[in-house]
Amino acid sequence: MLPAAPPPAIVTAAIITAGGASRRFGSDKALARLGGQTLLERVAASLENHAPKLIVAPPGKYALSGWQNVPDTRPGEGPLAGLEAGLGVLKTGALEPRLWAAFAAVDLPYLTPKFWKRLAHFREPNAQAVIGHSSDKRKQPLAALYHVSSLSTVTALLDKGERRMLALLDELAVIEVSWAELESAAPQAYQNVNRVEDLSESSI
């Protein structure tokens, strides 16, 4: 009797949403520098082990080696629209049933490869999202894993005018991960950059 074939490997893509207006920041946040790198480069480095790699932003705005630019199909509609654009590109072919995406906002420069590996550890069959909690127990949907099967729900929410990422979580099969499970992998994972002052206050 032949041994059972191993289950197909789970594929994890990467999506960075970088199409925001950066109004509070005052300039293009993605190109601001921290520790010798742009915020975009820092977030991309945390996702170096994923493929394919997608940046959702206006056409021609950013160029990053190894990353594919994806146009923001609903400009100004926020990160939920960025997730829709990225998942829409990924929803093709035989990969689909086992395809997840690590989804990150460009203003989270303290994410690490270990963070994503730790989060992926909690994936379960039939789950559609894996999200972490910050130290104050808030859900953090802007650095999370989403299965490609969540795309139809994302689109339905946007079509009816809903733009909140937390509203998406109410509609999906979600695995929630405590901060205690994630802290050692990225102690500042959810510290975002909204103002120029946030860069000067960094511990880097």
Closest listed residue to residue 99, CA positions, set 65, 150, 55, 140: 150
User: pLDDT tens for residues 53-83?
Assistant: 999 998 888 989 999 999 988 988 999 999 9
Tokens encoding 81: 């629209």
3-state DSSP: the chain helix, strand, coil percent, rounded to 5? 30, 20, 50
Closest to 144 (Cα-Cα) out of 74, 94, 199, 80? 80
Q: Which residues are annotated as a binding site for Mg(2+)?
A: 107
With helix as H, strand as E and coil as C, how does 31-72 read? HCEECCEEHHHHHHHHCCCCCCEEEECCCCCCCCCCCEEECC
Q: How far apart are CA 12 and CA 80, in angstroms?
A: 19
Binding-site residues for GTP, please?
17-19, 29, 72, 107
- Give mean pLDDT, residues 146-159: 97
The confidence score (pLDDT) of residue 51 equals 92
Confidence band (pLDDT; 50, 70, 90) for 91?
confident
Mean pLDDT of 47-56: 95
What distance in Å separates the CA atoms of residue 64 and residue 120, rounded to the nearest whole number?
25
CA-nearest of 30, 8, 159 to 95 is 8
What is the pairing mode between strands 139-147 and 11-17? unpaired
- Residues tagged in the binding site annotation: 17-19, 29, 72, 107
CA-based max dimension of the chain: 66
Phi-psi domain of 76 (left: phi exceeds 0; alpha: psi -120 through 50; beta: other): left
The percent of residues above 90 in pLDDT, for the chain, comes to 71
Mean pLDDT, residues 31-60 taken together: 93
Instruction: Give the pair of three-digit tokens for residue 191.
Output: 């510290």
Instruction: Identify the weakest region by mean pLDDT among 2-11, 24-33, 112-121, 180-189.
Output: 2-11
107: closest CA among 133, 79, 131, 130? 79
**Token pair belonging to 57:** 């932003």
- The domains located in the chain, with CATH, are 11-200 (3.90.550.10)
| Residues 109-148 pLDDT 10s | 999 999 999 999 999 989 999 999 999 999 999 999 999 9
